[in-house]
């Protein structure tokens, strides 16, 4: 009888240990595979933030830290490929591009901010560049105190590989144009990364918007 009681007590004790072990296991933090982790790190500080100024057309804007800047077409991109609705006579004045990937686990592949000018385009032709893909919605936006026509263009075969937010305004017989281009690639499941999320796209758009918000025009 005593042996049976002892076995019962031992069995109950072992059962309690098993329950406790399961409880500890369930309370333990779950291990997330590295590929699924949302890696966040402070933005690089180089090259430092600086001002761009175009004396000919009187435009100034702030280039964020960790963005490159060039005035020459073809060095980091080709303007008319990224902005196909721009008139043939539109002249690239500057392009800034992000020099790091803020979302390395996604299909994000780059962001570029273009400033161009066209001294030959009429006011209707200038506005039409932002509305070239009707019936897409067209709105207006204030940039540096000037009202710009705002539209967009996008392309891609399997997914949206590039989206260009277009802003145009006719000032002093010149068509001023800004393009905010975000690029990504398709097939994230094949390459081992995931598709960029709307939240991540919004974060990139906020970076681009800060550049637009910094635009200033020289006083005439």
pLDDT in tens, 45-102: 899 999 999 999 999 999 999 999 999 999 999 999 999 999 999 999 999 999 999 9
pLDDT of residue 39: 53
- Residue 71 CA to residue 50 CA, distance in Å, equals 14
Q: Label residue 144 exposed, middle or buried (CB < 10 Å: 0-12, 13-18, 19+).
A: buried
187: its two tokens: 């097939």
Q: What is the pLDDT of residue 112?
A: 97
* Residues 11-19, mean pLDDT to the nearest whole number: 43
H/E element, 89: none
Query: Sign of dihedral through CA atoms 152, 54, 209, 163?
Result: positive
- Give residue 200's region: left, alpha or beta (phi > 0; psi -120 to 50): alpha
**17/113 Cα distance (integer angstroms):** 62
Output the pLDDT for position 194.
87
DSSP helix/strand/coil, 116: strand
Q: End-to-end CA distance of the chain, in Å?
A: 106
The yes-or-no verdict on residue 40 having pLDDT over 90 is no
Binned at pLDDT 50, 70 and 90, residue 169 comes out as: very high
Domains of the chain: 44-217 (3.40.1000.10)
């Amino acid at each position: 009888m005593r042996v049976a009681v002892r076995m019962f007590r031992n069995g109950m004790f072992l059962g309690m240990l098993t329950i406790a072990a399961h409880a500890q296991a369930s309370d333990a933090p779950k291990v997330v595979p590295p590929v699924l982790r949302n890696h966040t790190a402070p933005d690089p500080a180089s090259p430092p933030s600086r001002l761009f100024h175009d004396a000919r057309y009187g435009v100034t804007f702030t280039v964020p830290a960790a963005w490159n800047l060039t005035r020459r077409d073809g060095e980091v991109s080709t303007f008319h490929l990224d902005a196909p609705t721009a008139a043939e006579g539109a002249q690239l004045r500057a392009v800034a591009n992000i020099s790091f990937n803020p979302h390395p686990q996604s299909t994000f592949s780059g962001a570029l901010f273009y400033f161009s000018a066209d001294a030959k385009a009429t006011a209707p032709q200038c506005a039409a560049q932002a509305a070239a893909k009707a019936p897409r919605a067209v709105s207006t936006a204030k940039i540096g105190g000037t009202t710009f026509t705002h539209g967009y263009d996008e392309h891609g075969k399997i997914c949206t590989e590039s989206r260009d937010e277009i802003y145009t305004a006719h000032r002093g017989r010149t068509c001023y144009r800004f393009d905010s281009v975000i690029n990504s690639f398709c097939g994230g499941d094949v390459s081992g990364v995931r598709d960029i999320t709307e939240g991540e796209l919004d974060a990139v758009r906020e970076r681009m918007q800060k550049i637009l918000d910094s635009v200033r025009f020289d006083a005439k």
